Structure 1
Amino acid sequence: MAYFTAVLSPEGSGDDRDWRSVDIDLEAGSPDELGDALRGAVDDDDVPVLAVLEREDEWFALVRTDGGVDVRVFVSDAVAAADSAYAPLFAELPPAAAVVGEDGAEGGAGASEPDEDEVPATRPEPPVVEDVWAGDPELLTDLGCPAEVLVRLAGSGADPSAATVEIGEVLGFADVLESLR
Structure 2
Amino acid sequence: MYFAALLARTEDGWKASDTELDDVETLSDLADLARESAPDEDTVLVLIEQEGAWFGVVRIDGEDDPRIYVSSAGAAARSSYGEILLTDELLGRDPDDGADLDALDLDGTEDGEPDHQDGEDGDADSSVPSGPVGDARILDDFGVSEKELLSLSEDALGEIAEALGASDVLETVR
Instruction: Provide TM-score, normalisation by structure 2.
Output: 0.71
**CA-to-partner distance for each residue in 1:135-163, whole Å, 9 max, x for gaps?**
1111111222211111111xxxx22xx11
CA contact (8 A) 1:82 1:91 kept: no
Q: How many residue pairs are counted as aligned between the two chains? A: 139
**Residues 1-181 of structure 1 aligned to structure 2 (within 5 Å):** 2-12=1-11, 18-22=13-17, 24-26=19-21, 27-45=23-41, 47-86=42-81, 87-92=83-88, 93-94=90-91, 108=121, 132-153=131-152, 158-159=153-154, 162-181=155-174
**CA-to-partner distance for each residue in 1:45-104, whole Å, 9 max, x for gaps?**
2x1011110112211111110111101111111101001011132133226xxxxxxxxx
SS of the residue 2:158 aligns to: helix
CA contact (8 A) 1:23 1:41 kept: no
Gaps of 5+ in 2: 93-119, 124-128
**CA-to-partner distance for each residue in 1:88-145, whole Å, 9 max, x for gaps?**
32133226xxxxxxxxxxx9469xxxxxxxxxxxxxxxxxxx9701111111112222
CA RMSD of aligned residues (A): 2.3
Gaps of 5+ in 1: 96-106, 111-129
Instruction: Provide TM-score, normalisation by structure 1.
Output: 0.68
CA contact (8 A) 1:9 1:19 kept: yes
Distance 2:173 2:54 in 1: 18
Deviation at 1:18, TM superposition (A): 1.9
Percentage of identical aligned residues: 37
